[in-house]
Amino acid sequence: MFTTVTTIWSREMRGFFTRPGGWLILLAATVPAAVAAGWMATLVARGGLALRADEDPVSQFLGPNIFLMGTLLWLAPLLTMNAIADDRRRGTWELLVTSSASAMEIVVGKFLAAWTLISVCLIPWPLFLSALRVWNGKSREMAGWIPWFDGPGISFDAGLFWGGVIGLLVIAGTIAALGTLTSAIARRPLFAGFATATVLALLLATSLLPRVLDQWRVPADRYDWIQAVAVWGHLAEFSRGIIPVSRVIGHLSASVILVWSAGQLCRRADG
Amino acid sequence: MGDTMSLAIDPITATPLPRGASIGYRRGVVRRLRSLVWLTAILGCLQLFGALLPRGIDLTATRSQSLAPQTVAVLRRLEQAVEITVVAPTRPRTVGEQAFAHALGPFRDLVERCRRESPRIVWRSLDPEIDLAARRLAEEFHDLSVPGVVITTEIDGVRRHETLHVRDLAEIGLTRGRQPILEFFGEQSLTAALSRLIGGVESMQVYCLTGHGELAIEDDAVESRQGMGLMASRLRANGCRVESLDLGIASRIPADADLVIVAGALGEIPSVEVEKLRLYFSQGGRGLILMESAHSDHKSDNDESLSGLLSEHGVTAGHDRLVTAGFTGEIELASPVMPAQSDHALVRSLPLTPLVLHDARSVRTRVGVEPLSTESIPLLVSFAAPRAWSETDFSSLEATFDPDSDLPGPVAVACAVERHQGDLREPVLVVVGDAEFVCNRNLTAPSGRNGANFVFAALHWLHGRKQSFADIPATRREPYTLTGTAAELQRSVWGTAFFVCAALLVGVATTAAQRRA
């Protein structure tokens, strides 16, 4: 099973990195990360006091900020819509399912590839944060003539960095599983992409709902259940520098169920 | 019958399989079953794995996202729902409201962490300007001043509460570089409050001294200046048993006394009675002494009797009166006083709203050569000179500051006295240079709540109900320390972006060339 899954994963990865489009997607995913990092640098330099953990600019950078959410809203559908639906459109799906690989193995391989690709596209985010930590933007001359980094920039708690990175990985997994499922349901990639974007937008709205209810002074215990599906709220928890184990288990369970459902759908649809 | 027995049943849909169902179909069913078993096994393993791990793994260096073990222990003892209600305006206007809004941020984070640990914690936020429930709370709990936090629970049908104010939660200051800094110690206060709530409220036995012209607890008349019946009612509503005590009759202070209040003794307290008070305090008793003003009309007969007792505890009550110059220059005997600058637990728990004292006398730390086992801490101080001073000339209403005899402001008008026994500090006395602020007439005035709040804070401290979990470390929030300017940091970002984008463009070009080839 693992060999088949690895083969499918390698095929998907090769397909992405051997196309100029794949690199362009990476490039497009880098730009908002750079803009957001610039915005964060300005906020930090302003020197305001973050009263709540969510108000910390570093937490916000790897948390639910508009640039990151916006990136994932277009990136995830784009990377997952082709997972199964495109194979069906091109007629290569039949070739895959008639091979020795089972539908579930194929789906797992494609899900893992989608998860990896989304994660790869998110690498610029921690990369820029690391750059700000190790380099303050000034340069000095080493050995009298070699320009070198002057010194560290923002001395933030490394826990915020690692929490944010783990959170991004976990949530990327759920989003990849969701995209794989919609790609398994849809017959056309465009429809799959649209469906994934719609579900992500709904999740975004659900994540904003607790804040709205808080503004309306609704007691927090009445909307605790919304928090369970508020994906972006979960990312905020991670970016504070904590790994909420129940959230990780919840996301992994949701990913397993979504991928299993996608496998069952493929098996049923393709006999 | 035999046909029915031979029919196979689809284990998933529970319907009979068609006669002569193919082997492939049966295999499909087995495969689906195996898949379901796999799914269940994986989910089960995940849940088991999650159950073995702690609720959250804090990656921060200072463990700022974790609750202290003391807090976790208290939260695990919760059996009833505990409602934490913040009563504060949505848009802070005054300095006090602004300070509270600053402290509220980390407090909200703290409560969220508590809620993750214990689902019995309920968070509510009320705006006194728009929510009727906020006004009801303020009416129900006399020690709640806005903005503040009230923590309520119901145990055995009895509603209990604790209140926290900005001084219980955080302090905001400035670093050497004039950067704002917030020291948050709300976890200590919240844990202590929860501990007190679930630990049961001990009923406090309060005796109010009588027989020397003190404010009478039996006098409930709203306009009365000689009665403090309304204060007594509020104390009773907050779990105190309040009784009068005539030391002329009683052989000694009753053994069940948690606190003795001496509220404005006009006449002389005989030395025999003072001796009984001295014995009580020396044996660990606690007292709230509200001095009558040193006005010439009253002759200040109680001066000599009480002054010796206070002097033994390092406190001197001045034979003077606090005066404050108004904005237009006229002299007022009603002087606003505010909490002193101190880290003392009682000072921190005092609301920041000014308390208005009438004709108050100064209460200062006595300066002497002999060592004392007690220490006095200023609680309330007046405005600084030249706006306020303590006037020693009672002959005329036209007060003018005389640097030779008068004490320039800020004048201390209330002190807390603590006894030191090694590292242990225990409360002994709270002395205030005015008693009128607790009389019925002033208590029913619009600013009367501040006087009641002061008394409650003093009582809580004296009774040890405001003990804090001081071993829970305070957390500090301050802006990031930067070695570069905003422009230099931008250079760091865009320099990195340049290299990343260049590498990606190389990837685009290479793959495009390969495709073309």
Q: What confidence tens digit (pLDDT) does each residue in A46-86 have? A: 877 777 777 889 999 999 899 999 999 999 999 999 889 98
Q: What is the mean pLDDT of residues B176-185?
A: 79
Phi-psi domain of B357 (left: phi exceeds 0; alpha: psi -120 through 50; beta: other): beta
The answer on pLDDT for B12 being more than 70 is: no
pLDDT for the residue numbered B1: 41
Question: Do B215 and B189 reside in the same domain of the chain?
Answer: no
Band the pLDDT of B84: cuts 50, 70, 90. Answer: very high
Ranges of residues in chain A with a pLDDT under 70 are 270-271
Instruction: Look at B35 and A260 and tell me if their CB atoms are within 8 Å.
Output: yes
Would you say residue B75 lies in a domain? yes
User: According to the model, what pLDDT value does residue A271 have?
Assistant: 57
For the cut 80, the answer to whether the pLDDT of residue B448 exceeds it is: no
Kindly report, residue by residue over B140-152, the tens digit of the pLDDT.
Answer: 887 788 889 999 9
Same structural domain, B157 and B210: no
Task: Give a yes or no: residue B464 inside a domain.
Answer: no
Same domain, B208 and B195: no
How high does pLDDT run on average in chain B? Answer: 83
% of chain B with per-residue pLDDT over 90: 16
Residue B423 maps to a domain: yes
Handedness of CA A171, A172, A176, A182 (dihedral sign): positive
Q: Is B360 left (phi over 0), alpha (psi -120 to 50) or beta?
A: beta
Structure tokens at B222: 């709203």
Residues B374 and B278 in one domain: yes
Please state the rounded mean pLDDT for residues B3-28.
61
- Selecting from B39, B65, B508 the residue whose C-beta is nearest the C-beta of A24 gives B508
Look at residue B245 and tell me if it is in a domain.
yes
Domain span at residue B140?
A: 69-199+471-477
A253 contacts in chain B (CB < 8 Å): 43, 46-47
Mean of pLDDT values over B505-509: 93
Nearest CA in chain B to A253: B43
B61 touches chain A (CB under 8 A): yes
Check residue B114 and give its pLDDT: 93
B195 and B210 share one domain: no
Q: Are B77 and B121 in a shared domain?
A: yes
- Number of folded domains that form chain A: 1
pLDDT digits (tens, 9 = 90+) for B449-504: 778 888 888 888 888 754 556 667 778 888 888 887 888 889 999 999 999 999 99
Same domain, B222 and B332: yes
B42 touches chain A (CB under 8 A): yes
Kindly determine whether residue B35 and residue A131, on different chains, have CB atoms separated by under 8 Å: no
pLDDT, residue B17, reads 62
The answer to whether residue B22 neighbours chain A at the CB level (below 8 Å) is: no
- Whole-angstrom Cα distance, residue A79 to residue A62? 21
B230, B302: one domain? yes
pLDDT of B245 above 50: yes
| Among B367, B499, B399, residue whose Cα is nearest residue A34 | B499
Structural domains counted in chain B: 3
- The verdict on ipTM greater than 0.90 is no
Range of the domain at A105: 2-269
Instruction: Decide if pLDDT at B178 tops 80.
Output: no
- How high is the pLDDT of residue B310? 85
- pLDDT for the residue numbered A28: 95
Tell me the chain B residues in contact with residue A30 when contact means C-beta distances shorter than 8 Å: 497, 500-501, 504
> So what's the pLDDT on residue A108?
94
- Judged against a pLDDT cut of 90, whether residue B33 lies above it is answered with no
Q: Which residues contact A256 (CB under 8 A, 6 or more apart)?
A: A177, B39, B42, B43, B46
Q: What confidence tens digit (pLDDT) does each residue in B409-418 have? A: 788 989 999 8
- Mark whether B8 and B85 lie in a shared domain: no
Which range of B107-116, B184-193, B399-408 scores highest in mean pLDDT? It is B107-116
- As a whole number of angstroms, the distance between CA A251 and CA A178 comes to 11
Residues B211, B189 within the same domain: no
pLDDT at residue B4 in the model:
46
